[in-house]
Structure 1
């Protein structure tokens, strides 16, 4: 594990380093082995707090809720510098040399955790960060505080295996909330989802691809796809196809058009592909959907 800082702890600050026996247990337990904490804590007005690591063996998350700080990350493309302000999250993946420190005039107050697990790298991916993007701005981050408080309060109890698993599940819950809290801020910065939905609706008769949507959003295909999934929880093409299936249901309900005609009106040249997609989304074929709905009416 990358050693946490030895910054002297004043009243109100805390630092918890899980014993090796417990982290080894977490690495095997079915509820925690994918994602678990190695150490975590809360530093208040951390004057003089600074860390430099040439080797980094686990993942690190730092959330600043007051004040500010600065970071440096060594990537394959070169050195990247940045600042971390209140309401922002810094995520440093394993393997990247880095340094960070509290601002001299407005030292940060931070929650932090070192974490690992068999799926920890993939968990980082759910945040939708672009390559060499390390900072995420959170909206309404105070909704995380009950779980954060529960996690920190575990330090006042005798560490046992079940409490270590509890710490892991609390951290997993916190991490799972981050995409929702980041989505509004990231959406405002990157693309207008409502405008994109209108574009999809207006062009539901066309056979569009990822490049078309990325162009409307003004982003690269890779960056757009990651941001879109962060905001919506699904891929752009699946979102577009499911929109088309909803429109197909409306036509099946309100018209006597053939399945082939409806498929063509929604940009599907192959009615058999359309029928397979419809069944995948709705659970039954278009003709069966129409029959069941008419029978219900």
Structure 2
């Protein structure tokens, strides 16, 4: 984030206690590596796919999908992606007088920076909301909102921490599937890719998914896209063409048809409804 924004956040009454310094998402980050001998902020990494290697305190650890890496200020470290299975990661650098208290609430192991939290689609949605808040505007208010989204993200992790466990190998890992869907809302995603993520054939994946959820994976993926589109219609002034592109549709007309089929009204009518120009009853 621009230094002037960081300074403003550190002085604003609604963000001074905890604020982000930088946020990002790297997908299949082949060649990604970092070494920090001097680390002067706090860093959180959430691995969504693939794996990487982390070295701290003279020990090497493998970071896998579903792992959080928590590196507090002052902890020297180096990490790199696995070249055979490059990781996809969300990352956020943050600071503030209350940062240590938020970190303590995560109940980290003082001997290890790894938190095996597991894959949680709603946590992915939290990271995506952070990215949305940062990108929605260049105004300070947007970054103040971003700082408060960071609070929500960290307290959500604290809520999930006692329940963290990996699903049994013989079950369908819905969290992995839904996390991938959340991360790929801006593009197209086929059933074969989702099935491969949980090591199932396309046929068995669709059968298991429908038995557990009552719907098909692609129907749910479209539902998530429409949810994101509604959010963008609510909080931005982007045109329908831009929003269609943001949720993975190159054809705005086709996107509008899908949106109306799901919501019962067009994207333009939905925005009019949200600003009060159209009643809920039509």
Give 5+ residue unaligned stretches, structure 2. Answer: 168-282
Q: Distance in 2 between matches of 1:99 and 1:148?
A: 23
Give the aligned partner of residue 52 of structure 1: 35
Query: CA shift at 1:185, angstroms?
Result: 2.5
Identify which of 32, 55, 67 aligns with 2:50.
67
Give the aligned partner of residue 84 of structure 1: 63
| TM-score normalised to structure 2 length | 0.56
Give the aligned partner of residue 93 of structure 1: 72
| TM-score normalised to structure 1 length | 0.53
The number of residues matched between the two structures is 167
Larger Rg over CA atoms? 1
Asked if 1:145 corresponds to 2:124, the answer is yes
Question: Is this contact kept in 1: 2:56–2:75, CA < 8 A?
Answer: yes
Question: Is this contact kept in 1: 2:9–2:19, CA < 8 A?
Answer: yes
Listed one character per residue, the Cα deviations across residues 137-171 of structure 1 (whole Å, up to 9, x for unaligned) are 22452112333222212344331110110110111
Identify which of 18, 22, 36 aligns with 2:5.
22
Listed one character per residue, the Cα deviations across residues 26-54 of structure 1 (whole Å, up to 9, x for unaligned) are 11222211111000100000000000111
Query: What SS does structure 2 have at the residue aligned with 1:27?
Result: helix
Where do 1:32-43 residues align within 5 Å? 32-43=15-26
Note the aligned Cα RMSD (angstroms).
1.9
Give the aligned partner of residue 201 of structure 1: none
Give 5+ residue unaligned stretches, structure 1. Answer: 1-17, 189-297
